[in-house]
Amino acid sequence: MLAISLQSGSNGNCFYVETNGTKLLFDAGICGSRAASRLGSHGRDIRDVDALIISHDHADHVSCAGIYQRKYGIPIFITPLTLREAEKGGRLGKLRDVTCFRSGDQLKFGAVSVHTIPTPHDGVDGSVFVVCSSGKRLGILTDLGHVFSGLPDIISSLDAVFIESNYDPAMLSTGPYPAFLKKRIQGPQGHLSNMESAELLRSGSRLKWACLAHLSECNNSPELALRIHRDISGGKIPFYAASRYAASGVFAI
Ligand SMILES: [Zn+2]
Ligand SMILES: [Zn+2]
């Protein structure tokens, strides 16, 4: 299994996974041409993608889904509530190939399965994902809300993970965000801090690597997030930070 973060953060999220002849995109928060060119820089053609799977209705995850379908012919997988919310005001445009799933369902693409897991994040019907293929398991876990019941067990089953590490509490509290937004981010339906994420990964006894994702621009830095994770883990596995502005390298699982 190979995976690439095409971008991650509140300015847009998109992850690519290929395994066993199946090519998947998770989230469409960056414009189609950017996703295509970043895949192209790794020798991949976006037109070869078999499915786009959407995590939740926030714009940084779904805003360009309609374009991916109309321009590149990619089928969309989404929950009914997320679809209804995302379509409000005609924001997705005309769609012709949509498959609805319920969070908790297992999606099958040939020999690849994608487990969908509901989250307490403040989307209308958020999900995170575990991609399973040939005995390997990759987590794509952002916009988690908080460390909900069952999440450590999921982490303990994974071989590799993209994991939310959104903010540093001190930077958030002294930073420029309005009070309501600070409260939302730290609240039980917001995002995980560096420390919450690092403590969570202590359950990851099978993990070969972790790529930190959805880092805040104002309230975090890749250096700080990586340092906290490396300190807490005792340096047992390599850590990477997904960029808000560029594709990652190709990670192998
Ligand atoms: Zn987000
Ligand atoms: Zn969100």
Q: How far is the CA of 140 from the centre of ligand 2 (A)?
A: 13
pLDDT above 90 as % of the chain: 98
Whole-number pLDDT of residue 237: 97
Q: How far is the CA of 204 from the centre of ligand 1 (A)?
A: 23
pLDDT at 159 over 90: yes
Q: Which residues sit opposite 5 in a β-bridge?
A: 15
Whole-number pLDDT of residue 206: 97
Q: How far apart are the C-alpha atoms of 222 and 43, rounded to whole Å?
A: 26
Q: Where are the alpha helices (DSSP H) in 11-76?
A: 32-40, 59-62, 65-72
CA–centroid distance for 57 within its chain:
13
Ligand nearest to the CA of 27: 1
Whole-number pLDDT of residue 126: 98
Q: How far is the CA of 134 from the centre of ligand 2 (A)?
A: 30
User: How do residues 6-44 score in pLDDT, each as one tens digit?
Assistant: 999 999 999 999 999 999 999 999 999 999 999 999 999
Whole-number pLDDT of residue 90: 85
User: How do residues 63-121 score in pLDDT, each as one tens digit?
Assistant: 999 999 999 999 999 999 999 999 998 889 999 999 999 999 999 999 999 999 999 99
| Cβ proximity of 212 and 159 under 8 Å | no
Ligand nearest to the CA of 166: 1
| Cβ proximity of 20 and 134 under 8 Å | yes
Q: How far is the CA of 224 from the centre of ligand 1 (A)?
A: 20
User: How do residues 174-232 score in pLDDT, each as one tens digit?
Assistant: 999 999 999 999 999 999 999 999 999 999 999 999 999 999 999 999 999 999 999 99
Q: What number of other Cβ atoms are within 10 A of residue 193's Cβ?
A: 25
Q: How far is the CA of 252 from the centre of ligand 1 (A)?
A: 24
pTM of the model: 0.97
pLDDT, averaged across the chain: 97
Q: How far is the CA of 60 from the centre of ligand 1 (A)?
A: 5
Ligand nearest to the CA of 190: 2
pLDDT category of residue 139 using cuts at 50, 70 and 90: very high
Place of tokens 């801090």: 193
Q: How far is the CA of 93 from the centre of ligand 2 (A)?
A: 21
